[in-house]
């Protein structure tokens, strides 16, 4: 071998080896770290598991002074500080969970220059005493974690983040690095503007998580479907199951446990001790399942989560991406599985219609829901569609349900017309609005008590839709909703026409639909249910 006349290792690389024990930087870590070490601002978009923490931890160790990390994840600060302490990094945090003595000790260490990293909850900066404290110490950098929280368009807005624009005015010479694992192009721009990161260098990693297999199935008996999945493909694996309500969290956890799969509940209604204990067990033990509301998992660093299952429709694509992103951080094959049905759409519409906030806010929520629906009903590659949502390009991936078993698409124009004209007739001939169940009963010509009561058997559309089954009609409704040719409103999830419905009714537009695949259960033993 030729004599090596290598450049001396950069200080950042030395810290990577010596402190963290890793061989090399991953992806753009090296460039990002170099930028911040040099004192410039950076905006980092990197998926979960990409390695964002080192991007500010190493510069904080290389530059002189204390790296101040703003994070909304108060519950995780202790863990983060413990992990760093174990590596010999001097770290502390200030948040509302501490008593006066604990806080005072951290403040003392900060002022004495005995800290490398200080984690702060954003609301701390509203306290004048905190700002005065920071003024008296030496700050090496500001890291703004979960930077998408500054965006009102995003799915996780936190008003306290808006104040972070003032960091630059107050400490103009301190470099800032903002990081997030989820941002559409609009959110990306908004982060840059709101945080005054005008001269920042942008680092946008690919949001693709190739080891995650995305699958979205129609919901019929979700707990059974979930059990099937776990038994056939994920026996003994650790995983997270998300439900929207506390009640369904409890029920699902109990159901899995009764069926031999140990599952722990996690939701905001449990006392904090139980929550912490369940989370700790999930992190420590192998093969546990946590059934949780979305409150679970923010920033959780468990590398071997093999599956993330959703039993209810997430409220936004960003949320879905972030939650599914907790699977497979170790790069090994993992499953993101979602079961969704018409009822999800009805329920979420209702939540949006009754939510607090102004019309603009409700419109935003509606836009998020529409994008999520479009992902569910797509006949294209799920991954390509997910990436497109984040402004990135992807080829058909071969590792999602639509790539693996391409759904047939069919010309659903005529069924769409039949369904829309039923809604139209109810609305205009009878001045009535009904939910999907009644509309479908009319199409199928079912003589139910409710049909008789409202004399719906006298409508000309009664019984004109017998070519499809009930479940197929439900699929038609979902797809019309996803294509915004139909809308759902009010407490009872009544169906109403949209501005675009007329194009279908007037035969100016064809409607392509995806054929509902027959549900193939992969279990060998046939279950009787």
Helix (H) or strand (E) holding 360: helix 359-377
CA–chain centroid gap for 386, Å, is 11
- Residue 381's binding partner among Zn ion, ligand ADP, none (Cβ under 5 to 8 angstroms by kind) is Zn ion
306 binds ligand ADP (CB under 6 A): no
**What DSSP line would sit under 180-242, residue for residue?**
ES---HHHHHHHHHHTT-TTPEEEE-----TTEEEEEEE-SSHHHHHHHHHHHH-TT-EEEEE
Nearer to ligand ADP, 161 or 462 (CB): 161
195 binds ligand ADP (CB under 6 A): no
Q: Which two tokens stand for residue 210?
A: 């190739």
Nearest-angstrom CA–CA distance, 486 and 495:
7
Per the CB < 8 A criterion, the answer to whether 45 and 204 are in contact is yes
At closest approach, how far in Å is the CB of 265 from ligand ADP?
25
Out of 36, 52, 290, 328, the only residue in the binding site for ligand ADP (CB under 6 A) is 52
Q: How far is the CB of 143 from ligand ADP (least distance, A)?
A: 11
**Residue 46 touches ligand ADP, criterion: CB under 6 A:** yes
Tokens of 144: 């703004």
Closer residue to Zn ion in complex, CB, 400/480 = 400
Cα 332 to Cα 319: distance, rounded to the nearest angstrom: 22
Q: Where do contacts with Zn ion occur on this chain (CB under 5 A)? A: 381, 383, 397, 400, 403
- Contact stretch for ligand ADP (CB under 6 A) within 33-41, 52-60, 196-204, 337-345: 52-60
Give min distance, CB of 20 to ligand ADP, in A: 7
- Regarding 82 and contact with ligand ADP (CB under 6 A), the answer is no
115 binding ligand ADP? (CB under 6 A): no
Q: Identify which of residues 110 and 307 has a Cβ nearer to ligand ADP in the complex.
A: 307
Q: Which does 52 bind (CB under 5 to 8 A by kind): ligand ADP, Zn ion, none?
A: ligand ADP
Instruction: Report, in Å, the least distance between residue 181 CB and ligand ADP.
Output: 6
Residue 25 interacts, among Zn ion, ligand ADP, none and using kind-specific CB cut-offs from 5 to 8 Å, with ligand ADP
Contact 176, 168 (CB under 8 A): yes
Q: Can you tell me the distance from the alpha carbon of 135 to that of 15, in angstroms, rounded to the nearest whole number?
A: 27
| Interatomic CA distance for residues 509 and 503, integer angstroms | 6
71 near ligand ADP, rule: CB under 6 A: no
- 403 makes contact, choosing from Zn ion, ligand ADP, none, with CB < 5 to 8 Å by partner type, with Zn ion
For ligand ADP, which residue of 17, 18, 22, 280 counts as binding (CB under 6 A)? 22
The phi and psi torsions of 264 (rounded to 5 degrees) equal -110, 135
Min dist. Cβ of residue 76 to ligand ADP (A): 11
Closest CA to 365 of 154, 525, 85, 205: 154
299's enclosing H/E stretch is none
Q: Does 26 bind ligand ADP (CB under 6 A)?
A: yes
| Smaller CB separation from Zn ion, 397 or 488 | 397
- Residue from 12, 15, 28, 29 touching ligand ADP (CB under 6 A): that is 29
- Burial class of residue 218, CB neighbours in 10 A (0-12, 13-18, 19+): middle
Residue with tokens 């905001």: 268
The three-point CA angle 276-282-288 to 5° equals 140
Task: For Cα atoms 446, 449, 454, give the angle at the middle one, nearest 5 degrees.
Answer: 90
Is residue 25 a contact residue for ligand ADP (CB under 6 A)? yes
State the Cα–Cα distance between residues 83 and 145, nearest whole angstrom. Answer: 17
Count the neighbouring beta carbons within 10 Å of the beta carbon of residue 307: 25
Instruction: Work out which of 32, 33, 36, 53 binds ligand ADP, going by CB under 6 A.
Output: 53
Query: Is 435 near ligand ADP (CB under 6 A)?
Result: no
Rounded Cα gap, residues 138 and 141, in angstroms: 9
Query: Interface with ligand ADP includes 301 (CB under 6 A)?
Result: yes
Concatenating the DSSP letter of every residue in 389-453 gives HTT------SSBHHHHSPPPEEE-HHHHHHHHHHHHHHHHHS----BHHHHHHHHHT---HHHHH
Beta carbon nearer to ligand ADP, 48 or 316:
48
With CB cut-offs between 5 and 8 Å by kind, which of Zn ion, ligand ADP, none does residue 49 bind?
ligand ADP
Q: Kindly state whether residue 49 participates in binding ligand ADP, applying the rule CB under 6 A.
A: yes
Look up residue 305 and give its two tokens: 């989560």
400 binds, among Zn ion, ligand ADP, none (CB under 5 to 8 A by kind): Zn ion
Choice between 22 and 410, CB closer to ligand ADP: 22
Tell me if 48 contacts ligand ADP by CB under 6 A. yes
The answer to the question of residue 372 lying near ligand ADP (CB under 6 A) is no
Exactly one of 11, 51, 206, 379 binds ligand ADP (CB under 6 A); that residue is: 51
The interface partner of residue 176, options being Zn ion, ligand ADP, none and the CB cut-off 5 to 8 Å by kind, is: none
- Cβ atoms of residues 328 and 306 within 8 Å: yes
Distance, in Å, from the CA atom of 70 to the CA atom of 118, rounded to the nearest integer, reads 9
Q: What is the CA radius of gyration of the chain?
A: 26
As measured in angstroms, the least distance from the Cβ of 145 to ligand ADP is 8
Q: Is 182 in the site for ligand ADP (CB under 6 A)?
A: no
Tell me: does residue 298 bind ligand ADP (CB under 6 A): no
CB of 217 to Zn ion, least distance (A): 15
For the sheet containing 117-120, what is the strand order? 91-94, 117-120, 66-70, 139-144, 176-180, 42-45, 201-204
Binding site for ligand ADP (CB under 6 A): 22, 25-26, 29, 46, 48-54, 301, 303, 329
């Amino acid at each position: 071998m030729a004599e090596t006349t290598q450049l001396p290792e950069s200080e950042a690389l030395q810290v990577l080896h010596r402190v963290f024990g890793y061989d090399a930087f991953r992806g753009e870590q090296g460039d990002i770290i170099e930028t911040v070490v040099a004192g410039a601002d950076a905006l980092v978009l990197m998926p979960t598991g990409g390695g964002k923490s080192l991007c500010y931890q190493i510069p904080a160790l290389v530059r002189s002074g204390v790296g101040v990390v703003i994070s909304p994840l108060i519950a995780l600060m202790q863990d983060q500080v413990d992990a760093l302490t174990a590596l010999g990094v001097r770290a502390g945090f200030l948040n509302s969970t501490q008593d006066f003595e604990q806080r005072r000790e951290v403040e003392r260490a900060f002022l004495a220059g005995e800290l490398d990293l200080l984690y702060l909850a954003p609301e701390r900066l509203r306290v004048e005493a905190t700002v005065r404290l920071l003024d008296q110490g030496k700050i090496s950098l500001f890291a703004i974690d979960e930077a998408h929280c500054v965006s009102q368009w995003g799915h996780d807005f936190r008003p306290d983040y808006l104040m972070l624009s003032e960091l630059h005015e107050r400490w103009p010479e301190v470099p800032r690095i903002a990081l997030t694992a989820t941002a559409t192009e609009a959110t990306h721009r908004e982060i840059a503007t709101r945080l005054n990161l005008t001269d920042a260098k942008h680092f946008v990693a690919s949001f693709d998580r190739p080891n995650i297999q995305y699958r979205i199935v129609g919901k019929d008996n979700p707990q059974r479907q979930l059990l099937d999945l776990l038994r056939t493909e994920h026996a003994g694996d650790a995983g997270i199951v998300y439900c929207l309500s506390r009640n369904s969290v409890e029920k699902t956890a109990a159901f899995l446990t009764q069926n031999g799969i140990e599952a722990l509940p996690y939701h905001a209604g449990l006392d904090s001790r139980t929550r912490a204990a369940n989370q700790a067990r999930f992190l420590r033990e192998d093969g546990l399942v946590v059934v949780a509301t979305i409150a679970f998992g923010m920033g959780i660093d468990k590398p071997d989560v093999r599956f993330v299952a959703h039993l209810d429709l997430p409220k936004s694509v960003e949320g879905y991406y972030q939650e599914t992103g907790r699977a497979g951080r170790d790069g090994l094959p993992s499953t993101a599985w979602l079961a969704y049905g018409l009822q999800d759409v009805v329920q979420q519409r209702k939540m949006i219609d009754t939510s607090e906030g102004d019309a603009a806010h409700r419109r935003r929520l509606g836009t998020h829901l529409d994008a999520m629906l479009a992902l569910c009903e797509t006949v294209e590659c799920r991954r390509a569609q997910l990436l497109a949502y984040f402004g990135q390009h992807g080829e058909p991936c071969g590792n999602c349900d639509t790539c693996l078993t391409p759904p047939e698409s069919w010309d659903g124009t005529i069924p769409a017309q039949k369904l829309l004209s039923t809604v139209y007739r109810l609305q205009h001939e009878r001045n009535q609005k009904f939910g999907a169940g009644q509309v479908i009963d009319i199409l199928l010509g079912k003589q139910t008590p409710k049909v008789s009561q409202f004399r719906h058997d006298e409508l000309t559309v009664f019984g004109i839709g017998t070519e499809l089954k009930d479940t197929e009609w439900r699929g038609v409704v979902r797809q019309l909703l996803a294509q915004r040719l139909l809308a759902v409103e009010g407490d009872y999830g009544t169906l109403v026409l949209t501005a675009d419905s007329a194009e279908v009714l007037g035969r100016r537009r064809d409607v392509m639909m995806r054929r509902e695949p027959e549900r193939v259960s992969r279990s060998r033993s046939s279950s009787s249910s």
